[in-house]
Structure 1
């Protein structure tokens, strides 16, 4: 049996044969922790097109030529998918159309969100959450997370980063320079839509925003949170051409304006950059909002000890946490389950496309359910006045937690198992915290 067929069979056994008929993003295992469950709101989804005018055209700059006297400029297009709490009784398609990692195969993915249905009416605007994918990726890569947290009372805007998607992948310098700029521009646009008349007016509060970034999205989230890149990284010949990355360098005038006060917290999943010298103590000291970091201990892209963990250790003066999937790789907790059409060896890419979404050790649905649980707890604590913060008060190593319950089901004094997890279901995880005072 081939690896691809073995993985397909494992998915069928774990989630039922229906998984093979549909590419579902809303699956919940029986072992899913408490806060992974969908919330009480129906969910809607709609597509927005945005244009950021007069941006530096990184792709039009020749890094081998002399530095131009003026930067070439263009109007930068961005597509954003928005998930939101929907009014009851709405009807709409629950199918999303997304391209695979190969950049050519379009597939259907299925969830609970209904296309273009009316938003719920609310007197209290919901928090806003921005999602920023990896390089390459697209706005649907973390759709399982976007839809899930929208059902719990959030409006979630997931960005297609131009030059970084499966279909538009281009020179890496564009991603380095534009990632944080895209995040902040989408925040501005969403803020404008919330205050203007229209379908989303009054639905959410852009002044109470969280940011989630995966891989290069995590790199951007660190910048947006106030972390400045190193002088050495600004000069990398394979990076931003002719010092264009300098706008994000620690100590620069442009970077000192961050973080944007509307962004109250950030989640960085497998954030990239420490492994190649983009961060140091000075730059990371600029982070001034609470951050949750999520990583696999065997991340071979962003690295762990000398990568994500080192970033977490370098961010001081704010409340932070690090959730680690032991033996997990770079995909821990982030990508949706591999669509069935991705199980093939692509000659151009040189790998089986399903590998882009999966992990050699961790079941993707379990990994995603755990991420849904912790991201919910973290966002609730930061954006909803401390709600669900008790789910973040844990013994460091889940394997050390003691399950101790009376016959009537009440927990004994020595019970220390991770709250929200059924007995034996938190294995293979660690959760470390550092307070602002440390």
Structure 2
């Protein structure tokens, strides 16, 4: 069976066909999806220009949610953004702009957090997909850290201090905001059962949000480019636990970290990592040249104390395992294309596997749907291979036979 395209690009098709080999849980759910853009303010946050005062922190949010079924008769949304080199592009999604949300129901809140540099819709395929299966998903434009904020050519790390300080705090703020808001979307958002999904620096923050403490020292900050005296003064500023809270917010029921940064530089305190209890899924390429694998993402996975921890590894993939496929304009320069493309993988296939496994994980640990837990491989190194008798090993649950390849999966502490 061949189904319709997942996403279309404004100037051409972004995803062309969804073939029958698509993992089972990557197929859209029962809900029509709406999307709205919100402007919110996190008041009295640390001014990361001076580090001595406070100022209000504006945030732009993209919110996907189960919509009124009649929304299907309205046009689909366009997502506009810029590349790292500030070249504008538009993508057409499957969601319906400003559609009325479902009149009733409770749908778990999922926070979606981009990397440095990125934007709130860089994983819009995942936001739309989860919403179609009954989640309210909130993508954050992390102020100072987006492609629009940062002059990648002339001052590529200008927003990095803000990223280190605010990534987890932004995630926690979104959960708090929707628990207090009175909008029609907030009324159907279940903030008592929430999850956070982060990519790269979003994953760095997500680990802190669910319980890790930062352990920046002066030498580490200097390696990141801070002058000696500034690094010395900023150590206590940067170090915090639980997104700046005294303890982990118990509403966080699951965490997914795609290519999270920080393992190679040991910025997460190992003792606090061992105390994490939130179910955690790490996703990495085994050739990640930004966050690292052996001493990076794999290390973070191994340090995590949760009884329910998983690691999914894309063989021969580097860092770009989570973004939507590159828009046409990104192909004009290596600097932009390198923000999206994977040399050994088709990004469309990566997106579909991400959709499948993210949904399985959230359904299992946020909605407590035991039938979906069965989609999480239980044997380590579960890539499909030919056995000594010449027969293929069993495919992953939800994957077509012969197509469960190129991906390794680990449950527990035995990643090799």
TM-score, normalising length from structure 1?
0.83
Q: Decide which of 368, 389, 395 is 2:373's aligned counterpart.
A: 389
Call closer, same or farther: CA 1:253–1:227 in 2, change over 3 Å: closer
Q: What does residue 374 of structure 1 align with?
A: 357
Call closer, same or farther: CA 1:75–1:399 in 2, change over 3 Å: closer
The alpha carbon displacement at 1:256 in A equals 6.6
Q: What does residue 48 of structure 2 align with?
A: 58
| Correspondence 1:395-434 to 2 at 5 A | 395-400=379-384, 416-434=394-412
Q: Deviations over 1:167-212 (max 9, x none)?
A: 112331110011111111111111112xx2x322421111110000
User: Counterparts of 1:77 and 1:200 in 2: how far apart (Å)?
Assistant: 20
The alpha carbon displacement at 1:129 in A equals 0.2
User: Counterparts of 2:34 and 2:243 in 1: how far apart (Å)?
Assistant: 37
Q: What does residue 411 of structure 1 align with?
A: none
Q: Deviations over 1:137-175 (max 9, x none)?
A: 000101111111110000000000001000112331110
**8 A Cα contact 1:226 1:255, kept in partner:** no
The alpha carbon displacement at 1:89 in A equals 1.4
The alpha carbon displacement at 1:125 in A equals 0.3
**8 A Cα contact 1:395 1:418, kept in partner:** no
User: Counterparts of 2:251 and 2:284 in 1: how far apart (Å)?
Assistant: 26
User: Counterparts of 1:254 and 1:262 in 2: how far apart (Å)?
Assistant: 13
Q: Deviations over 1:240-259 (max 9, x none)?
A: 86655636637x69857232
| Correspondence 1:122-271 to 2 at 5 A | 122=104, 124-169=105-150, 170-193=158-181, 196=182, 198-232=183-217, 236-237=221-222, 238=225, 243-244=233-234, 246=236, 249=239, 257-271=246-260
The alpha carbon displacement at 1:232 in A equals 2.1
**8 A Cα contact 2:66 2:132, kept in partner:** yes
User: Counterparts of 1:256 and 1:142 in 2: how far apart (Å)?
Assistant: 27
Call closer, same or farther: CA 1:79–1:255 in 2, change over 3 Å: closer
| Correspondence 1:218-367 to 2 at 5 A | 218-232=203-217, 236-237=221-222, 238=225, 243-244=233-234, 246=236, 249=239, 257-332=246-321, 334-345=322-333, 351-367=334-350
User: Counterparts of 2:218 and 2:308 in 1: how far apart (Å)?
Assistant: 27
User: Counterparts of 1:270 and 1:22 in 2: how far apart (Å)?
Assistant: 29
| Correspondence 1:61-140 to 2 at 5 A | 61=51, 71-90=52-71, 91-122=73-104, 124-140=105-121
User: Counterparts of 2:393 and 2:212 in 1: how far apart (Å)?
Assistant: 39
Call closer, same or farther: CA 1:242–1:262 in 2, change over 3 Å: farther
Structure 2 residues not aligned, in runs of 5+: 151-157
Q: What does residue 36 of structure 2 align with?
A: 46
User: Counterparts of 1:421 and 1:116 in 2: how far apart (Å)?
Assistant: 35
- SS, match of residue 375 in structure 2: helix
- SS, match of residue 316 in structure 2: coil
Call closer, same or farther: CA 1:370–1:201 in 2, change over 3 Å: closer
- SS, match of residue 196 in structure 2: strand
TM-score, normalising length from structure 2?
0.87
The alpha carbon displacement at 1:398 in A equals 3.5
The alpha carbon displacement at 1:22 in A equals 2.8
- SS, match of residue 343 in structure 1: helix
2:34 corresponds to 1:35: no
The alpha carbon displacement at 1:352 in A equals 4.1
User: Counterparts of 1:25 and 1:244 in 2: how far apart (Å)?
Assistant: 45
Call closer, same or farther: CA 1:383–1:105 in 2, change over 3 Å: same
User: Counterparts of 1:265 and 1:243 in 2: how far apart (Å)?
Assistant: 34
**8 A Cα contact 2:116 2:145, kept in partner:** yes
Q: Deviations over 1:259-291 (max 9, x none)?
A: 211111100000001112213422312422110
**8 A Cα contact 1:29 1:365, kept in partner:** no
User: Counterparts of 1:254 and 1:392 in 2: how far apart (Å)?
Assistant: 28
Structure 1 residues not aligned, in runs of 5+: 1-14, 62-70, 346-350, 404-413
